[in-house]
Amino acid sequence: MIADKIKELREANNLTQTELSKKLGITRSSVNAWELGISVPSTTYLIELAQLFHVSTDYLLGLPTNNTIDVSQLSEREIILVYELVDYFKSQK
């Protein structure tokens, strides 16, 4: 699962295994092992991959993701309106 994601992201960004390994400061054989599913990246490299490819670590790990909305700058009334809109859109399905 993670092997496929890494390869897919690397290819989508037109990077060779060698180029990706240089960006991460590791060997090409490490990248190759990740893509073949022989090994998995450490937590540090998962974070670096996520930042490099602008994805979440959950995405790399194949975990379900939930969309979130930051409402911290909204008033209570605005937050209520957002929830009402979400409920409305759910009811339309």
- With helix as H, strand as E and coil as C, how does the chain read? CHHHHHHHHHHHCCCCHHHHHHHHCCCHHHHHHHHHCCCCCCHHHHHHHHHHHCCCHHHHHCCCCCCCCCCCCCCHHHHHHHHHHHHHHHHCC
Q: What CATH number does the domain containing 28 carry? A: 1.10.260.40
With respect to residue 90, please indicate whether it lies within any of the assigned structural domains: no
The residue range of the domain holding 42 is 2-61
Amino acid at residue number 37: G
Do 54 and 47 touch, CB atoms closer than 8 A?
A: no
Please tell me the total count of domains within the chain.
1
Mean confidence (pLDDT) of the chain: 93
Q: pLDDT per residue over 16-43, tens digit each?
A: 999 999 999 999 999 999 999 999 999 9
Looking at residues 46-71, what average pLDDT do you find? 89
